[in-house]
Amino acid sequence: MSDKVSRRQFAALAGLSAAAIANPLDGADAKPAAAASRDSGFPTGFVWGTATSSYQVEGAVNEGGRGGSIWDKFVRIPGKIEDGSTGDRANEHFHRYKEDIALIKDLGCKAYRFSIAWPRVFPDGDGKPNPNGLDFYNRLVDELLRNGIEPWATLYHWDLPQSLQDRFGGWRSTETCKIFGDYAAYVAEHLADRVKNVFTLNESGRFVQFGYGLGIDAPGMTLPQREVNQVRHNSALAHGIAVQAVRAHGRHGTRVGPAENIDVCVPAIDTPEHVVAAEIALREMNAGYLNVIMTGQYTDAFLKYAGADAPKYTAAELKIISSPVDFLGLNIYAPQNYVVPSAEGAGFMPLPIPKSFPHMSSDWLRIAPETMYWVPKLAAKIWKTDAIYITENGTSGDDVVTPDGKIYDTDRIMYLRNYLAQLQRATAEGVPVRGYFLWSLMDNFEWVFGLSKRFGLYHVNFDTQVRTPKLSASFYRNVIAKNAAGA
């Protein structure tokens, strides 16, 4: 599967080319954070957390009244999952959540980002809610709080109820967007008394293109580009509707925002001209989702390049899409584009990635720590936000269990140490990054790669469900204790 297209290789899939871009950005820098010095560590109050998602860890897909999701169906299509596994059992987090929360506490994390399985709460997506489904998340949230861990909930991490796919074509229809708003309102009404931070949709850039354009992810469709662009617009609309629903039905002070796998654009060289080129590229390569959410409009370059394939929309929809958010969540792993200035009216030109570029055990996961500096720095300027959270960052590894029963994942430690050093560099310069959620708490079902790719701080034996801390767990514990990258 990785030979076909990488997990987050979005440069060629973003719907734009360098030739379509024309104008450099205007605008002042966003309000700086209260920075620590580069050598002293992260700012006081920096949020340290870890993350999982419902389908990847919960298991129990036929328990507690849960309905079917598009991933339950997709994993049963021969050849779609690299190792033939499913999320039916996964990590048994549905039953072992107390054990897993103890692992989070042992790391010293004060925050946990999890997702709510929409079909567990509404088996058909809409209609009558399932009280047993909500009860699980009530118990999860209460257990987190008892252990001094703040719950950060994601409303949608790809497990769309299959009923909505069957009835409306999933995200192809604005009817799904409206139903998502009802679901968001219900969750806010019942959990926002304890859950103060809510993410709307996770990684629209991934689930739209891979699920509806390339057929690699659920629901496995290969639509023409015009329809893919419309699905992406609908996902942005769903985000805006959910923001309004959380505002209307949550408690006062509940914060809400997106969590997106931003198309990473990095200046090839740190010169003013290259930085401007990267700034233009970051805006335009993310014009189809993040930029319209943050600004309420599609860029001229995006619409020009899309041409007849541009999404259809109304001014009222753009107003909903751009409902003000409280923070911007960014999933950052690897660069999609190194860019240089262009003298041909484009403003920037993406460079080809050499075959010799170093990467981790996943081919797509190129090692480029500077992405953790440039992306939040440029994003804060482009979209004038004063609260950014790194909602995912981490790496897969071979993770060999040695004869002494331990996992000495020095490769993961190398990756994290260097990325966190660049993040600390950013916060020292006043870039408003307020927190970091490491992906992932433990090895889990890694979508099209099944159980073959391991991203966790804790090793999981999927036969026995035994969790074993890797050396990287000790590393991250030390980072959190010191509030500094040089652990």
Active site residue ranges = 203, 392
Which residue, chain included where needed, has tokens 């989702």?
289
| Environment class of 343 (CB within 10 Å of its CB; exposed 0-12, middle 13-18, buried 19+) | exposed
Report whether 446 belongs to an annotated binding site: yes
Amino acid at 427: T
Rg (CA), the chain: 21
Q: Are 140 and 37 in contact (CB under 8 A)?
A: no
Report whether 439 belongs to an annotated binding site: yes
Q: Which of 229, 282, 275, 227 lies closest to 260 in space, CA to CA?
A: 282
Residues 6+ apart with CB under 8 A from 222: 213, 214, 215
Q: Are 361 and 292 in contact (CB under 8 A)?
A: no
Torsion of CA 77, 80, 85, 87, to 10 degrees: -80
Interatomic CA distance for residues 472 and 419, integer angstroms: 14
DSSP string, 164-182: HHHHH-GGGSHHHHHHHHH
Q: How far is CA 53 from CA 114, 131, 260, in A?
A: 5, 20, 14
Q: Are 123 and 129 in contact (CB under 8 A)?
A: no
Which residue, chain included where needed, has tokens 């460079």?
351
Furthest CA-CA distance within the chain: 63
Report whether 202 belongs to an annotated binding site: yes
Tokens of 51: 């993350």
Interatomic CA distance for residues 123 and 118, integer angstroms: 7
Q: Are 128 and 161 in contact (CB under 8 A)?
A: no
Q: Which of 153, 159, 135 lies closest to 198 in space, CA to CA?
A: 153
Q: Are 379 and 25 in contact (CB under 8 A)?
A: no
Amino acid at 301: A
Report whether 333 belongs to an annotated binding site: yes
Beta-ladder partners of 232 = none
Helix axes 131-146, 174-191, angle to 10 degrees: 50
Q: Are 81 and 448 in contact (CB under 8 A)?
A: yes
Report whether 82 belongs to an annotated binding site: no
Residues 6+ apart with CB under 8 A from 319: 296
Q: How far is CA 268 from CA 6, 184, 236, 379, 381, in A?
A: 21, 41, 30, 17, 19
Binding residue positions: 56, 157, 202, 333, 439, 446-447
Binding residue positions for substrate: 56, 157, 202, 333, 439, 446-447
